Amino acid sequence: MARKKIAVLVGSPRKESFSRKVAKTIVSLAPDSLSMEIIEIDQLPFYNQDLEDAGNSPAQWLSFRDQVRDCDGLLFVTPEYNRGLPALLKNALDVGSRPYGKAVWSGKPGAVVSISQGPLGGFGANHSLRQSLVFLNVPCMQQPEVYLGNVAGMFDAEGNMTAESTREFLSKFGVAFSAWVEQHTA
């Protein structure tokens, strides 16, 4: 079985965000069957159809599309903003969905991990993102679902996850995700 290349998209622009820390933890725990890389989305200009129509697509859009197109699967790690999806991540979805008929997302297996500092674990963002992924033809892993609540207490000062039971859960999640990707890329 060849290693599958996974694009990891983090929904928070903060370099020390809990979403980024969770994403780095998942990457560090990933089985050998996956090669996971965080693709930065915080420098993507907001999608504007006028630029595309005029042949002036920003270089950041084109580079981002190429990076995602080159991947076998997608992992989204997102916080919840006001019971919904962060604009940063929604913009990345929009940029990758164009030009019309040439979406880089279509058919790539994906999974969603949502986080919050409160107890609900980003439930609203998770389901909002899943709704968009259905339209974008991303087969999204159903189980195990990952809603990480109360994340502020899960890391040490260096950003290492100290919640051992959560580390074990994320490790099992990685194994399940690897099987999901293999099943949908065969």
State the DSSP H helix or E strand holding residue 115, giving kind and residue range, or none if neither.
Answer: strand 110-115
125-140 confidence digits (pLDDT tens): 999 999 999 999 999 9
**Stretches in the chain below the pLDDT threshold 70:** 1, 186
Give the CATH class of 4-185. Answer: alpha beta
Residue 1, pLDDT score: 64
For residue 42, what are its two tokens? 């915080």
Phi first, then psi: give them for residue 114, nearest 5 degrees: -120, 150
Domains of the chain, by residue range, sit at: 4-185
Whole-number Å distance between alpha carbons of 135 and 157: 39
What value does the mean pLDDT of the chain take? 95
157-173 confidence digits (pLDDT tens): 999 999 999 999 999 99
Residues 10 and 85 sit within 8 Å (Cβ to Cβ) = no
Whole-number Å distance between alpha carbons of 79 and 139: 21
